[in-house]
Structures are given as C-alpha cells and as structure tokens.
Amino acid sequence: MIKDLVQSAIDEESKPYWDGLKNEKLFIQYCDDCQQYIFYPRTICPHCFSEKIRWQESCGNGKIYSYTVVHQAFGPFKSEAPFVVGIIELDEGVRMMSRILGDKDQIAIDQEVSVVFQEVENDLVLPYFQVKEL
C-alpha cells in the first residue's frame, strides 16, 4: 500500500497539503516577509526564519528539472516499472518530486509540464505531472 508509506508522517503541519490534493488543489506556501515560495510545507521559512507563512494554490505549471526512468522498483511500485520519476520546478520556483506522464519520447529536461491529480489509492491523491503537447 502506497498510503502506508506516508500516512504515519501526516500531521498538522502537512495536513493542509494532503487535504488540498483530495480537492484537486496543489498547495505550496508563501512567506509574507521575504516573499519567497516554499516547498515542502513548513511552519518556519527556510529562507528568512519568519513564521508569516501562508498557503497558496500553485498554478500547477512547471518544467522538468531532471528525471529518470525507473527500471527496478521496490515495494508497492515493483510491478509498475518502468515508470518515470522526476523533479519538477514549478513556475513559482520551488521544486518537488513527482511522476511524469506522457509520451516517453517527449520527456526531457526543461520540457514543460502541468499538474494532474491522480487518485493512486482510495483516499490518496498525488500530484503527477503531464508533459504538455508540443
């Protein structure tokens, strides 16, 4: 179960992020003091240590910073291989890990992607990214 991997870690700090995904919204954070975006969710700004942090919905667009085709996977992912995991740089500037969907020939570093909300298990929605049509 993929959910087992994260469930024990979900707490008051991360719950708004996970709840947002269930409503097909990708929430990142913004620091009102230093005016920089933050991911993953925190209660203190890693740039300036301010606590004036608010949740903000991401535009969901970005580009591929790097990716790999996973041929040998483990645990609940074993049967899914090969699949593509990448680091996405959102237009807001923050990076996050995700799956990349789309024609494998079109997956490349700097390729533009946009978020899609994937229910991978009952009650677990993840932000995946889809390569934009060229």
Helices vs. strands in the chain: H and E counts, helices first: 2, 8
Kindly state whether residue 66 participates in binding other proteins, applying the rule CB under 8 A: yes
Exactly one of 43, 71, 122, 133 binds other proteins (CB under 8 A); that residue is 71
Tell me if 113 sits within 8 A of 129, measured CB to CB.
yes
Residue count, binding to other proteins (CB under 8 A):
39
| Shorter beta-carbon distance to other proteins: residue 6 or 59 | 6
Which of 32, 59, 69, 132 is the binder for other proteins (CB under 8 A)? 69
CB atoms within 10 A of CB 35: 9
Min dist CB 105 to other proteins, Å, is: 14
Q: Does 97 bind other proteins (CB under 8 A)?
A: yes
**What six digits make up the tokens of 111?**
């390729």
User: Which one among 80, 106, 119, 132 touches other proteins, defined by CB under 8 A?
Assistant: 80
Pairing mode, strands 61-70 and 83-90: antiparallel
User: d(Cα 94, Cα 81) in Å, to the nearest integer?
Assistant: 27
Cis amide linkage into residue 40, ω under 30° from 0: yes
Instruction: Please report, as ranges, the residues that interact with other proteins according to CB under 8 A.
Output: 2-3, 5-6, 8-10, 14, 39-40, 65-77, 80, 83, 85-87, 95-99, 108-110, 120, 124, 126
